[in-house]
Structure 1
Amino acid sequence: MNPDEIRKRIARRIALELESGMVVNLGVGIPTLIQDFLQPNHGVFLQSENGLLGMGPTPPDDEFDMDLISASKHPITLEPGASIFSSSDSFAMIRGGHIDVAVMGALQVSERGEIANWSIPGQDILGVGGAMDLVASAKTMMIAINHLTKDSKPKLVRNLSYPTSGIRFAQKVIDGGERIFIENSRMILREIAPDCTLEEISATTEAHFEVAEDLKTMPVTPHAMGSGIA
C-alpha cells in the first residue's frame, strides 16, 4: 500500500473514535486528514491552536482561501456556528482542560505511552508548537503514526531516544496496521488490519506489547469506515 493510502487509512480509523459532543484538537501531519472522513452531522467540534473551533472538511481546490487555515497551514472550511478567536484564547482553552481529545503525530512512542514529537537529536529542531500544552492538558491523547520511520526503524520503542514531549502518556496509538491501547503503562494490541500479521508487527516493533484476548480485525475499507474527499 502506498504511503498516501496508509495515511488515509489511519485518518479514517481515527474518525471512528471521535464521538458527538467531543472537542478535538487535530495536530500536524496525518491528523489534518481526519476532518475529511467524519460522517455528516457528526457533532464533533474540531479545534485548532491558531484560534478556531468548528473546523470543517478541506475545501475543493478551486475554493482554497489561505486566510482560512488550520494551525498546520491546511486549508479548511467552517462548520455552521464555528468560532474564530485569538491564539491566546485558544491556548487558554487547551491549558484549561477543555480539549477532550488531542490527536497528535509522533516521532516515537514508548511502550508506556510517553511520546516524542518535536526534536530529533543532531537535526534541526522541528519546533514544540502546542504539543507540550496538549500533552499536559488534553483529557485523552491519541497518536496517529506510521509504524516505521523513513529508514525503516520502529517508532514504537521500549524507551524514548528522542526528547520527550511531556510526562503524561497517550491512551491510544493507531497506525495503518494496528490499533493499540495503553493501559496502566502497558501496550495492548486491540485491532489488527486484515493485510497485516502478528509476526509482521512483532518483527517491526521494538516495544513490548500484549495481544488482547478478543483481538479484532480493523475495519479498513471506505465502505466500512466512511469515505471523505481526501
Structure 2
Amino acid sequence: MLDKIGIAKRIAQEVKDGYYVNLGIGIPTLVANYVRDDIEVEFQSENGVLGMGPFPFEGEEDADLINAGKQTITTLPGASFFDSSMSFSMIRGQHVHLTILGAMEVSEEGDIANWKIPGKMVKGMGGAMDLVASAENIIVAMMHTNKAGESKLLKKCSLPLTGVGCVKKIVTNLAVIEITPEGFKLLERAPGISVEAIKKATEGTLIIEGDIPEMIL
C-alpha cells in the first residue's frame, strides 16, 4: 500500500518533458518533488506562478512565495509571476498539458467531486471548475477509501460535482486505474496489494484484464 509520497512518486512518472502542469491542493503538490531530473517541466499555479520548484527546506521558506493552497514554494530559474486573469486565461486557453487534482469521489464515468461536502463550510471552488472544464488530461491523486473504509471510486458520485466525464486516470494508495467507457480499468496495483483487495475497495465497475503488474516506483 502506498502513502501520500508513494502516490506522488507514481504520478510523477506521468509527467513528460516539455509539459506545463497544474498541481491541485493536497497530494498533487508533492508531485513536483519527484519529477525526473533529466526532463524540463513548468509547474503552474492558478494564483499566478509559472515555474514552481520543489517545496523549500525548513528554514528556507519565503512567505511571499506561495501556491494556490497557500503553501510556501520555491521557484526555478526563469519563473514568472502574473495576475489571476492571465493565469486563468492560460488554463481556459488549454495551455496546460496535465492537471493533477485531489478528489473526494470519482465516478466510473470520470465525474469528479472535490470541492464541497454539504453542511460543511467551504471557502469556494477556487480554480477547480476552470481546470476540469479546460484540461484534456486530468489525473486524480486520492486515497481509495475514506476514513470509514468506504470506497471513493463509485458508480455515481454522491457529492456535488466539480466536473463531468473529465478524469482520465486515478492513482490511489492501492492502484493505478484508467477511466474507460466500460468503467474503471485496473492498470497497476500497489506493492503488496492483491487484485481482490482492490476489487473489494472499489464500488464502481472494475475491469480486470490479464495479470495486473505491481507499480514500479
Structure-2-length-normalised TM-score: 0.95
Q: SS state of the match for residue 170, structure 2?
A: strand
Q: Corresponding residue for 2:12?
A: 15
Q: Corresponding residue for 1:68?
A: 65
| Runs of 5+ consecutive residues of structure 2 not aligned to the other structure | none
| 2:106 is equivalent to residue 113 of structure 1 | no
Quick check: 2:47–2:67 contact (8 Å CA) kept in 1?
Answer: yes
| 2:203 is equivalent to residue 216 of structure 1 | no
Separation in structure 1 between the aligned mates of residue 166 and residue 182 of structure 2, nearest angstrom: 8
Q: 1:212 to 1:82 in 2, by over 3 A?
A: farther
Q: SS state of the match for residue 90, structure 1?
A: helix
Separation in structure 2 between the aligned mates of residue 68 and residue 94 of structure 1, nearest angstrom: 20
Separation in structure 1 between the aligned mates of residue 26 and residue 209 of structure 2, nearest angstrom: 29
Separation in structure 2 between the aligned mates of residue 63 and residue 111 of structure 1, nearest angstrom: 42
* Deviation digits for residues 1-55 of structure 1 (CA, Å, limit 9, x no counterpart): 6xxx610000000001100111110000000111111122421111000001110
Q: Corresponding residue for 2:140?
A: 143
Offset of 1:199 from its aligned partner? 1.3
| 2:199 is equivalent to residue 202 of structure 1 | yes
Quick check: 2:110–2:164 contact (8 Å CA) kept in 1?
Answer: no
Separation in structure 2 between the aligned mates of residue 176 and residue 98 of structure 1, nearest angstrom: 30
Q: SS state of the match for residue 121, structure 1?
A: coil
Q: 1:57 to 1:64 in 2, by over 3 A?
A: same
- 1:157-172 equivalent positions in 2, closer than 5 A: 157-172=154-169
Offset of 1:121 from its aligned partner? 2.0
Separation in structure 1 between the aligned mates of residue 114 and residue 125 of structure 2, nearest angstrom: 8
Q: Corresponding residue for 2:75?
A: 78
Quick check: 1:189–1:210 contact (8 Å CA) kept in 2?
Answer: yes
Greater share of residues in helix: 1
Quick check: 2:136–2:166 contact (8 Å CA) kept in 1?
Answer: no
- 1:92-103 equivalent positions in 2, closer than 5 A: 92-103=89-100
Separation in structure 2 between the aligned mates of residue 34 and residue 25 of structure 1, nearest angstrom: 10
One-letter amino acid matched to 1:165? T
Quick check: 1:118–1:126 contact (8 Å CA) kept in 2?
Answer: no
Separation in structure 1 between the aligned mates of residue 179 and residue 105 of structure 2, nearest angstrom: 14
Aligned partner (choices 175, 181, 187) of residue 178 of structure 2: 181
Q: SS state of the match for residue 62, structure 2?
A: coil
Q: 1:112 to 1:51 in 2, by over 3 A?
A: same
Separation in structure 2 between the aligned mates of residue 153 and residue 186 of structure 1, nearest angstrom: 18
Q: SS state of the match for residue 213, structure 2?
A: strand
| 2:33 is equivalent to residue 32 of structure 1 | no
| 2:141 is equivalent to residue 134 of structure 1 | no
Runs of 4+ aligned residues of structure 1 deviating over 4 Å after TM superposition are: none
How many residues are treated as equivalent by the alignment? Answer: 217
Separation in structure 1 between the aligned mates of residue 213 and residue 129 of structure 2, nearest angstrom: 32
Separation in structure 2 between the aligned mates of residue 209 and residue 126 of structure 1, nearest angstrom: 34
| 2:41 is equivalent to residue 44 of structure 1 | yes
Separation in structure 2 between the aligned mates of residue 39 and residue 69 of structure 1, nearest angstrom: 23
Deviates more, 1:177-186 or 1:191-200: 177-186
Q: SS state of the match for residue 13, structure 1?
A: helix
Separation in structure 2 between the aligned mates of residue 82 and residue 72 of structure 1, nearest angstrom: 18
Structure-1-length-normalised TM-score: 0.90
Q: What percent identity do the matched residue pairs reach?
A: 45
Quick check: 2:49–2:80 contact (8 Å CA) kept in 1?
Answer: yes
